[in-house]
Structure formats: C-alpha cells, structure tokens
Structure 1
Amino acid sequence: MFFFFFFIQSKAQDSIPAAKDLTEEKELKFQQFFFKALSQKSIGNYQKAIENLENCNQILPNDLTVFYEFSKNYLELNNTLLAKEYINRAIEKDAKNIWMQKHLVKVFVKERSFSEAIKIQQKVVALNLKERDYLAKLYLQNRDYKNALYIMNALEKDNSLSSNLKRIKESLEKSKKPIVKRQEVIQDVFKRFETDKSYAVLKQILEASKEESAKLLKYSGEGISLFPAQPFVYLMNGKALNANKDYKKALESLKNGIDFVIEDAMEADFYNEMATSFKGLGNTSEEKKYREKSKKLKK
C-alpha cells in the first residue's frame, strides 16, 4: 500500500514566491493517476486504468505496486504475456509477497499452464500452509491425482480439509480405473456408458439429457462420483436440481463445481445457473448479482 507524504512550507518570505517542492508535486500527480487507475479498473475500464498506470510509471519508474496493477489489468484483458511480464518484474523486487505470487498462479491458470501454476503455488504454500487447499485443486485440475491425494491426506490430518475436497478424496479412493474396450460398432450412447465409463461418453449423455431432468440428475450424480474434478458434471447436476426446484441442493452443487472452472464461458454458465437457484430461493439481490457476473464474462 502506498503512503503519500505531503510537505507544507510553514513560512513565506515576504513578497518572494516560495519555490515549489517538486517532490511534493510529483507525489500528488502520482497519487492522482494511481487512484484514477484503481477507479477505472473497478468499473471494468482496464485500458483506461493502464493509461493512468503508464503516467504513474513515468513519474516513478519501476515501482512494484504499479507493476502489480499493470499485471492485474492485462490479465483482465486476457493478455497473459504482458500480465506475466509485469508480475515477474514486481516479484523480482519482493519475492516473498504472497499476494503477487498468488496473482502469478492466476495468470498460469488462465493459460491452463497447470504445471507452472503448481510450481508457484508451492512457493505460496511455503509462505502460508493455509494455501494447501488450492494446491490440491491445482493437482486435480492437472489430473495428478497421486499428489492431490497426498495434499488432501495432509489436510485431513490437520483437520483442515474442506467438505468439497473431502468428498472428492472419498470418490478418488473408491474409484477404480476401468479397463475400457472400445466397441467397434457405434451403439446408443446410453448403452455404451454401461461398459465405457469414460468422461467423453458421459459428456455426450449429459448434453443429450439437458431437457430431461430425471436422466440429467441421474447421470450427473454418477458423473460427480466418477469425475470429481470435472466442472461440467456439477453444472449439469445444478441444472437438473434447479429443474426439480431443489434450489438449495443445486446451489451447493454449483458452488462445489465452480472451483474447477477455468474457461470464462463455463464460469458464466455457472453464475447464470446460480442466479436461477437464488431466484427459486426468493433471493432477488443475489439473483441480480450473479446474472450481472454472468453477463460481464460473456462480453
């Protein structure tokens, strides 16, 4: 956080104008541009925010907080190349800043570079053990179930395993990798699922069952057990529960699944379905909030 110091000249020398304190003038300008940047970012004007940050950088070059803000705005604009460049510059100046390290993780996740995200998240965990929960989720997204289970077991021993991860852990421990033989003749997708319990087949079933809530509820529930780190099955489960007017359970399922979402389009779908849940529960303010979040991601 920046602290701006203002100096006031206590005496004027007769009629001779007091010389301007250039340091104070620069600090005032820097402050103005910096808070304009924060204001523009808060309303989604990321390019305008960057323009104000460029003015800050001219006044005070190579400031780590300006670099940090550059990175956050470029990430919002999906420019991960510049987002990485600026956050790395900031981290060079303060390698133990956990917030900047966490932001770099977000950049790698946006790129779907889970292996790189995991490396940085390990540094975050070294700074704060409470961040192990997200490390486990990254391992799951990277389909590294062995290391995910290792972290989840450690969290469980410390009584700090979240309910969502606990359920995923139980599913992983119960599941056995099926030996799948591809049938040479293309059969009905529902029939195929009896012998081919792959995610590809399940996804086809869920897509085909969107308008049949009973089937969607059945297969999405089974999908959560088989593929606990696939967000699409939670989305379809929430959709089915909403169709059955079981809004509370729908919201719970959607909140569990959104942790695994990477793509903006799917995140928007989650928010839209959550808005439906809140509408069913009579919570109009939350409904409006999540509809807006969905629309923002679809722009």
Structure 2
Amino acid sequence: MELRKIFFGLAFSGVIFMSDIAMAQVQPPQEPDDIALNTDAFQDSFYEALKQKGIENYDRAVISLEKCLQLQPNNPVIFFELGKNYLKLKQYAKAYEYFDKAAQLDPKNRWYLQGMYDVCYETKDYNKAITIVEKLIPFKADYREDLLSLYMTTQQFDKALDLINQLNDEIGKSEIRDNYKAQILQDAKYQGPEKANLIAQIKKNPKEESNYISLIFLYSESNQEEKAMEVAKQLEKEIPTSDWAQVSLFKFHLNNGEGDAAVKAMNQVLESKKIDGKIKHRILNEFLIFAIDKPQYDAALEKAIGYFSNDNTVEVPKELGKFYQNKKMWDKAARYYAIQLDNHPDDVEAAMLLLQAYTEKGDFSALATKADGLLELFPLQPQFYYYSGLAHNQRKEFKKAKDALEAGLEYLVGDTDLEINMNIQLGEAYNGLGDQKKKEQYFLKAEKLIQQQKKK
C-alpha cells in the first residue's frame, strides 16, 4: 500500500535557497574581513556536504554540515540537510530530530514536515505519521489520500469511511477508495452509517446511479430485500434506462412468480455492457431453475443462452446440458449439447455428451447420423465408432454396425469398459448377420474382459 508521496527538488535549487537564507541571517557585528571568511567557510562546507551526499558518502556529508551548523546554528536548511543524510544512514531518531528542529525554526515550510513523515513511514510509526500528515494537509489537499491510507493501515475505519465519503463528494470517486470502502463494509457495524450516507447522497443527487447500486447491495447483504426492491424501483423511476435497476427487479419478479416481467428484466441485463459477466451468469442460473418445469419459457431460455455465444469463460449451453442431464431430462440436455457443438464444433466432450443423451432418450436415428458425422471429423476417436455401431445395430443395419465397430477396435487403447461394450455390440451385429460363430467369439471376449476386471 502506497502511504506517501515523495517529493524531489534539484539539489542546486536547494543551494540557492540555502544561500539566500544564509545571507539573510542576522549576525553580530563583525569586521568586513571576518564576514567574508565566515561566508566562504560556510559555503565551502555546504557545497562539500552536497557533493558528498551526491556520491552517497552520507557520513562525510554530515561532518561538513556540522561545520555549517557551528557557523549558523539557527539555519533550518542545515537541520533539514542533516535530517536527509541521517535518513539515508538509517539513523531514524537523529533524522527525525533534525527535521523537527528545521520545522520548529520554519513552520511554514512543508518540506521539513515531509521529512518527518518520511521517517515515520520508514519506521512504520503510522500513528505519529497521522499527526504529521494532518499538519501537511493545509499545505496541499492531496495529503488527504495519504491520511486515508494511514487510517486504513491503523484500522481506524470509522474515520476512514468519513474521509472516503468526504473525498467522494468533493472530488469524485476513485477505484482505491471504492476498494477501501468495500473492505470496511464487510463489517456490519459500519453498514448503518453508510446506508444513511447513501440515502443522503441519493436525495442530494437523484441521478447518480452508483449510490442506488451501493444501497441496494447493502440492503441485500443485510437481508432487507423489501428495502432493496424499494430502492431498485426508485432507481428505475429516476433513471428509466438503468440496467442495474433490472438486476434487482429481476429477482423481485422471480420471487413473485412474474415470469414475463422477469424475462424482460433478464434480457435487458444480458444485453447490457455495464453488467459484470458473473452477475449475468447468476441471473441465467436463477431463471433456469425457475423455468425448468415451465416449457412456455423454453424460447426465452434459448434466447438468453444466445447472449453468451462469445463468452469464453463459461460454456453456457454445455453447462445447461449437464444441468438437464442430471435431471434426466434428455430431450433438453441433447438440445443444449447440440447448441454447444454448433458454436464449438471441435468440443469432443460436448459431442460425447450429446451421443449419450441420444442413447438415453432412444433416438437412434439421430445417434447414427451424428456419430457417423463425427467420425469424419474425429476418425481416431474409438467412442464415436462405438456409438455408430450401437445406433446401427438398433436400426438393424448390422453391416454398418459391424464395419464401424471393427474399425473402432483398431484405435482402442487402455479403455477396458469401452472394449467390453464394443465386443458386445459386435456380437449383436454378427447375430443380426446370422454368423453365430462370430457372435459367440465376441460375446466370449466381452465376458473374459468382465471377469478380468472383477479380479482387479
């Protein structure tokens, strides 16, 4: 977490600044020659200090600065430079002491306070850093972001939340502040004040969509669904084009059995480019559960699936197929596996699932057509030969079944279950062809493999 902003200045500028102050120091009356000697000695030592600091000889820089301090003991620039060198030497107590002395001599110079802030950051003394940053804010309002980070680090979440809302109101929201707020609001004790803040913000600016969304989320998180719905309806009234209003209204319509209204809300959400994909998937899943025993919504469900055709994160048609397969609703499972293959013809898993769905529903005509077509695309997949043989056997096309199954055995490696089933189907094919000898041969092979499996 970045807790501070580090500011740099040109070393030469510092020299000029120092020289001006040095020349302005009130000195006791001296002879002209003494003044010249003192000024020359001071400048020589100071330039030497800058040179040594520039080549990272910080201890030598300190020696030169101490000579300067003997000549001008009340010069804040010298204390500041000593602080910087001691900070580089990681002698933090001395660094802080010298920055503090500089700030006492010149309270209007924010760089001296910044030096103290740097020490607190390095030593992780964040509570002391808060005190210093509060003094820096009058110099530059950007330090409020540093203060917010410090409040988060020290877990002063009530102060952090107040400051977040203040900054959001004055300069607009930011991603990091949104993340801070989300972290704070995980604790329910801060949700009440935030709800009040959001209600006030909505009254102040009823066309700001994000405040409604945040308030709906908080009400939903605290199981205040009725209030969440009220806010969603208010959002829809104030901003009729709001897609986010439909996210909440969709759930409201489902809970009330208002299927047509839910479909309308769902379609608006799925079309939206503002709504996150995870929310869209959740809405589709909720509608699927609602519509599973309502065939009048099949067309709406298929339209909804179409919105995910270019979504590579989740293969929605295949997942829907699996959902219906688990319910043993083979017609619908086959329909969605077919849609998946239309979108992704190289999806071998979806192809296997579709062939199994055709088998379970007893549609051997579709099974034969699909399996034979897949063999042209995937001639090395023995499972497709099996489904082709099975389908042709059921259609009493025994010659086609035999040819497919015998070809498939050539590609079979290490799948005993499939080998058993292919031998059984070959036995059925030869039985249909009237070759009893071959029939018994393949049935015996299958039986032998079954017995071998039992021994393992």
Q: What is the TM-score with the length of structure 1 in the denominator?
A: 0.50
Instruction: Find the structure with the greater CA-based Rg.
Output: 2
Q: What is the TM-score with the length of structure 2 in the denominator?
A: 0.33
Structure that is richer in helix per residue:
2
Structure with higher RCO (Cα < 8 A, 6+ apart): 1
